[in-house]
Structure 1
Amino acid sequence: MSTAAPAASAGTVLADLLPASSAARARLRDAALIAGGAGLTGLAAQLSVPVPGSPVPVTGQTFAALLVGTALGARRGFASLLLYAVAGVAGLPWFAGGSSGWSMPSFGYILGMLAASAVVGALARRGGDRTVLRMAGVMVLGSAVIYAIGVPYLAHSAHLSASRAVALGLRPYLLGDAIKAALAMTALPAAWKLAGGRD
């Protein structure tokens, strides 16, 4: 039975367009995509700029995590970010700035990325990545999920008030998030257009 890549249609994410001639090859493809997504997130995390007064740096990992979730779909995207998180907790130094472990105040953002990857992946299966406007909504929602987990975690772990956690863990990053969203808003719909699957 062939599991060749389906035509771009409803319920399809970009990763589904990669061909696989058998079920075994489809599993190998998915494993490679999951590992590749984790590696991309770890690489993007090394693009790290400290924010004065905040324990949370500006990094590329949130952008990578949302991109991975959108391109791979909810199941593979979540698995990819889970691999990233578990390997980092186990000691692989690929969290922001080459860090690892779970004790840093910014670990809540990594947990947020796990949830966000599933959310944006599910939205991508419903066509959320096919147009610029839809992709904007996907990125905003994905970022909101990350902050909804990351900011309270920061407040708890660093013993901050809610308002102080928002001031240190959300406000300084909104401009950067807008830039990342703009990149994704053009990149994903353009990829669908090249694949011939844009709505």
Structure 2
Amino acid sequence: MTNAANGAVRTVLADRIRSRGIATDAALVAGGALFTAAMAQLEVPMWPVPITGQTLAVVLAGATLGAGRGTLAMLVYMVAGLAGAPFFADMTGGLHALTIPSFGYVIGFVPAAAVVGWLARRDWDRRFVRAALAFTLASAIPFVTGIPYLAVVLAQLGAPHDIGTVLGFGLWPFVVGGIAKALIAAGVLPLAWKALGRRR
């Protein structure tokens, strides 16, 4: 795919750092999954949904790797965690994660990485304002799956699960932090592009 303005091949940051290849792509996907697992351990314990660094990891991985590899990285993260790797918050893993109220957000990481990677391939990660918009949008996507999942699990636990309670547990506490993480990512990625440009 080419950029209509200058004929250059559209790239994301990972494409500029290393040449493409199956081994390189596999390493980048694994790195994205491990980075997300590490950021999951930056946790403010809350019930039923903790505050973690995962969303920041998702937008950074998606933008850096692109839609394809970013999506695969989140799928690897999720599947490895369900298989028992201690990838989720508080170093947990295993199929019992499916019964945890916050697991719906993990499902949402997959489309979030795809969207931000698609936008990054179109240069939305190279200027602060557009990057902030892209990352804020991507940060909102996990709520689309996370909030309904939370409601279902709370109902199964016999806990209150009306819309006000669910939003109080699963949305409002995360708005300010989500915006802050999107702004952090929007500051980091343009700086990385500038640094790469100076090196070249």
Structure 2, unaligned runs of 5 or more:
1-7, 156-160
Looking at structure 1, the residues matched to 86 and 163 of structure 2 have their Cα atoms a distance apart, in angstroms, of: 30
Aligned partner (choices 125, 130, 139) of residue 143 of structure 1: 139
Kindly indicate whether residue 73 of structure 2 is the aligned counterpart of residue 80 of structure 1: yes
**Match in the other structure for 2:83:** 90
**Match in the other structure for 2:173:** 172
Greater shift after overlay, 71-80 or 54-63? 54-63
Cα deviation, residue 119, structure 1: 0.6
Cα deviation, residue 19, structure 1: 3.1
Looking at structure 1, the residues matched to 110 and 54 of structure 2 have their Cα atoms a distance apart, in angstroms, of: 12
Question: Match of 2:13, as an amino acid?
Answer: L
**Match in the other structure for 1:187:** 188
SS in 1 for 2:98: coil
**Match in the other structure for 2:4:** none
Question: Match of 2:54, as an amino acid?
Answer: Q
Greater shift after overlay, 68-77 or 143-152? 143-152
Kindly indicate whether residue 18 of structure 2 is the aligned counterpart of residue 19 of structure 1: yes
**Match in the other structure for 1:28:** 23
The 8 Å contact of residues 139 and 182 in structure 2, kept in 1 or not, is answered as no
Looking at structure 1, the residues matched to 186 and 111 of structure 2 have their Cα atoms a distance apart, in angstroms, of: 20
Cα deviation, residue 10, structure 1: 5.8
SS in 2 for 1:158: helix
Q: Which whole-Å deviations, capped at 9, do the CAs of 1:29-67 have from their partners, x for residues lacking one?
A: 10000000000000100111113xx31101011110111
Give the percent of matched residue pairs that are identical in Structure 1 and Structure 2: 46
Q: TM-score, normalization: structure 1?
A: 0.88
Looking at structure 2, the residues matched to 180 and 96 of structure 1 have their Cα atoms a distance apart, in angstroms, of: 17
Aligned partner (choices 41, 63, 83) of residue 56 of structure 2: 63
Question: Match of 2:115, as an amino acid?
Answer: V
Kindly indicate whether residue 128 of structure 2 is the aligned counterpart of residue 132 of structure 1: yes
Aligned partner (choices 153, 156, 161) of residue 157 of structure 1: 153
How many residue pairs match? The answer is 183
Structure 1, unaligned runs of 5 or more:
1-8
Looking at structure 1, the residues matched to 183 and 63 of structure 2 have their Cα atoms a distance apart, in angstroms, of: 15
Cα deviation, residue 11, structure 1: 2.0
Moved over 6 A (4+): none
Cα deviation, residue 69, structure 1: 0.6
- What is the Cα-based RMSD across aligned positions, in Å? 1.4
Greater shift after overlay, 121-130 or 174-183? 174-183
Greater shift after overlay, 29-38 or 161-170? 161-170
**Match in the other structure for 1:42:** 37
Cα deviation, residue 114, structure 1: 0.8
Q: TM-score, normalization: structure 2?
A: 0.87
Report the CA distance shift for 1:162/1:46 in structure 2 as closer, same or farther (over 3 A).
Answer: same
Question: Match of 1:60, as an amino acid?
Answer: G
